[in-house]
Chain A
Amino acid sequence: MSFGSPYLTLPDFQYIKPKSLQEALRLLDEYKDEAKILAGGVGLFAFMKERLIAPQYVLDIKGITELQALRDDGAKGLTIGAAVTLNTILEFEALKERYKALRDCIYLLSDPVIRNRSTLMGDLCEALPYVDSPTPLLIFDAEVEAASVKGTRRIPVTEFIRGVAEIALEPNELAVAVHLKAPPENSRSLFFKHTSNGEFSVTNVAALCANSSKPEDRTVRFACGAIAATPTRVREVEELFKRRAPIPQLIDEAVKTIKKSVEPMMDILATAEYRSHMLEVLSIKAFRELLAS
């Protein structure tokens, strides 16, 4: 039943479920912008119901075996295919310790029922400022593998997200997997976010730390998102933590550096001042937790 409201129904389209990656890439090369990719459908159907997009073809990629890849290659890193659901990722052993920032992020992404359908790649490709997944991916130097009929290439997440709802994919390209680099030995990572109305992030941070007690061997990584149009890895703070100085002093300097390196935006969710304040609060919380031990 529908009441004819644009918010309840989907516009007309042709549904196609390619059986192989080659077939999907060939179709995408033929249809280009007229086709949209369906994995979890959570974002896609929302945008289609709102009539923000009305693709002629919807390509369901869930039948493609390669895109279901979920692999921990130890020191070589972690691969997450475009059609792997968030709940499948959450249950994956490697995430529980070594990639904990990503795990914490996914756990907070949506509710458990939605997570049976939605995918990490879907979240990433929305590229809206309040989308959380890019931030933890930045601290694992993640890359998006894009494939087309001409071949594949890898795009670092920093370059993949170009602006609001703008990603570095050509119309004939399919994002097939996210590759995370293995974190340093004995590292710990975490992810925090602050939301407006419990749903959309207005600030999120991801941080990683190894060898916290020895300044010269200490590795710290920090990224923040939902503050500006694109997420940022703040590399200046990473050098700063190698200095010999009391931890509270280093944290103080780091937070100042972070606040200088991003320009918070104002939108319907929060003011720039509020975002700036929350960035300070969450950064301090993250550094204290990682550097305390």
Chain B
Amino acid sequence: MRVNGVDRKTEIKDNELLLDIIRDKIGVKSVKAGCWRGECGLCTVLLDGKPVKSCLVLAVEADGKDVKTAEGLAAEGQLAPIQKLFVEKAAMQCGFCTPSFVLTAHYLLQVRPNPTEEEIKDYLGGHICRCGTYKQMIEAILECAKLNTQRK
């Protein structure tokens, strides 16, 4: 399994979840365990580029695949634009859910470089932020889309 660009090898059992392996054996802690039943979205990772909830994926299913987490977005210690904007817009309070929102926002901007507010709300529908900083997150994503377009 390739985690954030680094090949990782670990022994797993057939019934182990990707979530538990990433956190406990690989040691990537930005992937949070919330509900273990696919409702909260906090365990989201990009599996071969697409967001999935890792509590609903077997570790063995990710064998040989590419896994990306919020750490992987910050190449060489530099925060990605969407991460910077989450900080600038204070799009978090306790921060527990933030890595998962950042990942899904990152993916959304890849497939839809200019999302509408409705599309953003729709796409973040699989995640829960109990502090309720949705408004700031939407602002951060809209701003990031704007900056991306200007850069081009």
What residues make up the interface of A, taking CB atoms closer than 8 Å to B? 1-2, 7-15, 38, 40-42, 45-46, 49, 58, 60, 62, 110-114, 116-117
Contacts and interface: CB of A to CB of B under 8 A. Distances in A.
Interface in B30-84: 33, 36-38, 41, 44, 50-53, 56-58, 60-61
A114 B53 CA distance: 7
19 contacts: A9-B17, A10-B15, A10-B17, A12-B13, A12-B15, A13-B14, A15-B15, A41-B56, A42-B38, A49-B37, A60-B58, A110-B126, A111-B126, A111-B127, A112-B125, A113-B52, A113-B104, A114-B126, A117-B53
Interface of A is mostly: loop
Given A112-B125, A113-B126, A15 B58 contact: yes
Contacts, number: 71
B interface, size bucket: 20 to 34
A44 to B, nearest CB: 9
Nearest to A45: B56
Given A42-B56, A111-B41, 18 more contacts: A1-B20, A1-B23, A9-B17, A10-B17, A10-B58, A12-B13, A13-B14, A15-B14, A38-B58, A45-B56, A46-B38, A111-B127, A113-B51, A113-B104, A113-B126, A114-B56, A116-B52, A117-B53
Contact of A117 (B13, B17, B52): B52
Nearest to A48: B15
B134 interface: no
Interface in B4-31: 13-17, 20, 23-24
Contacts of A40: 56
A10 B51 CA distance: 22
Interface of B: 13-17, 20, 23-24, 33, 36-38, 41, 44, 50-53, 56-58, 60-61, 104, 122-123, 125-127
**Most chain A beta-carbon neighbours within 10 Å: one of B14, B51, B104:** B14
A177 B20 CA distance: 33
A38 B14 CA distance: 13
A149 B151 CA distance: 57
A287 to B, nearest CB: 27
Given A46-B37, A60-B61, A117-B56, A112 B17 contact: no
Contacts of A110: 126
Nearest to B41: A113
Given A7-B37, A42-B38, A2 B20 contact: yes
